[in-house]
A = this chain, B = another copy of it.
């Protein structure tokens, strides 16, 4: 089809009439689909059920070092789980602290600790007049929610296909001592699915922050979450690169098994320099006696090592891929050539990011909802929930079945067309 903008008013009105009838029909179907949350599907959860059998009343529950996982101890996690998470994150075991069930919670605690106790001896952030955080956009709403909760000023940094706009990042970080952090999802980014190029990672590692307590919050949430066997993104190891660049303490890396084993019942970890770990543990030892070591042992006994994790993630990919492709197929078939939206075809992660014509995202999401398809709220991928172009929509294909995803995507493109036609007609 030709670009909608090139159609005459009459052609557009005619198309609108046809599509409106289709939309009415769709509304009549009583759809009830949810594409809003990056929630694993039921079939994915079933992959990890055998994990619930590996620890039972007859199990030896001692660690390799002989510590009893059933009792207090091992503040930074049992050794074998630190090793497993290190392999997953491609870092050294000594740099890893295993925590509770949620990497989001570690990120929150990391910001909260910086507020009350500073960073490795710096002034507590709560004593400063102004804290700024850089936010590559579109990005993850829960990251932005943390920095909003603590009252930081958030600055949008455009995210390209190879990472954030590094000229802007360097400009801010290297000159403004109020800039204390940046949120990054470097691999299979939430929501655009892109991965940072080697050059971007190296430019991160070579930042010369104006603030000594500037830190990169490197949320490696999708480190082994590939969709294809033959097409993997790989990113450089930011810990190594920071070390090489003389900035060994500049990065905190986060990850969890929430989308590998069970969301809410996985294990999470932070990886960072030994100096940072020393400081973190000074606080952790006040906050807790230790995290759930039986669950750590359960994960180790089930996954064993990096190869075990990878084999497991292949099974996830097999379940997720058809859902992603169902959406992408509909997009290509229905939208190619119309010039009313763009999207990236991700190789991993949990999302497809759609950019509608400016000023259309909210209306599209609302129109979908009116026909029974719930999307992530438009704007959610931007700080303060404000997408300045009202363009980005995050699609989460993981929870519904492939057939449901197809139906949802059909409805979605219908809404994209209808809203875009109205937008174009406004200017005719």
Chain A residues in contact with chain B, CB under 8 A?
37, 39-40, 42, 45, 48-53, 55-57, 59, 68-73, 100-102, 104-105, 108-109, 112, 115-117, 124, 126-127, 142, 145-146, 149-150, 262-265, 283, 286-295
Q: How far is the CA of A263 from the CA of B291 in the complex (A)?
A: 9
Chain B residues contacting A264 (CB-CB under 8 Å) are 69-73, 289-294
Q: How far is the CA of A53 from the CA of B283 in the complex (A)?
A: 35
Q: A149-B283, A149-B286, A295-B295 are in contact. Are A263 and B72 (CB under 8 A)?
A: yes
Q: Which residue of B lies closest to A45 (CB)?
A: B70
16 contacts between A and B (CB under 8 A): A49-B57, A51-B57, A53-B56, A70-B263, A70-B264, A105-B288, A108-B287, A108-B288, A112-B116, A142-B289, A263-B289, A264-B290, A264-B293, A264-B294, A265-B295, A292-B295
Chain B residues contacting A124 (CB-CB under 8 Å) are 126
Q: How far is the CA of A53 from the CA of B49 in the complex (A)?
A: 13
Chain B residues contacting A116 (CB-CB under 8 Å) are 112, 115-116, 126, 150
Copy tally for this chain in the complex stands at: 2
Chain B residues contacting A56 (CB-CB under 8 Å) are 52-53, 56
Having A72-B263, A264-B292, one finds 13 other A-B pairs with CB under 8 Å, namely A37-B72, A45-B68, A50-B57, A52-B57, A56-B56, A102-B291, A108-B286, A115-B116, A116-B150, A264-B290, A264-B291, A264-B294, A295-B295
Q: How far is the CA of A57 from the CA of B261 in the complex (A)?
A: 13
Is B145 touching A286 in the complex (CB atoms < 8 A)? yes
Chain B residues contacting A288 (CB-CB under 8 Å) are 102, 104-105, 108
Whole-angstrom distance from the CB of A285 to the nearest CB of chain B? 8
Whole-angstrom distance from the CB of A338 to the nearest CB of chain B? 35
8 closest residue pairs by CB, A with B: A49-B57, A126-B126, A265-B294, A108-B287, A45-B70, A149-B286, A72-B263, A105-B288
Chain B residues contacting A49 (CB-CB under 8 Å) are 57
Whole-angstrom distance from the CB of A103 to the nearest CB of chain B? 10
Chain B residues contacting A283 (CB-CB under 8 Å) are 149
Chain B residues contacting A70 (CB-CB under 8 Å) are 45, 48, 262-265
Chain B residues contacting A104 (CB-CB under 8 Å) are 287-289
Q: Which residue of B lies closest to A50 (CB)?
A: B57
Chain B residues contacting A59 (CB-CB under 8 Å) are 52
Chain B residues contacting A73 (CB-CB under 8 Å) are 264
Q: How far is the CA of A291 from the CA of B115 in the complex (A)?
A: 24
Is A39 touching B71 in the complex (CB atoms < 8 A)? yes
Q: Which residue of B lies closest to A298 (CB)?
A: B52
Q: How far is the CA of A45 from the CA of B51 in the complex (A)?
A: 21
Q: How far is the CA of A116 from the CA of B117 in the complex (A)?
A: 11
Q: Which residue of B lies closest to A102 (CB)?
A: B288
Which of A145, A263, A293 neighbours the largest number of chain B CB atoms within 10 Å of its CB?
A263
Whole-angstrom distance from the CB of A124 to the nearest CB of chain B? 7
Q: How far is the CA of A70 from the CA of B269 in the complex (A)?
A: 20
CB < 8 Å neighbour of A265 from B40, B112, B146, B292: B292
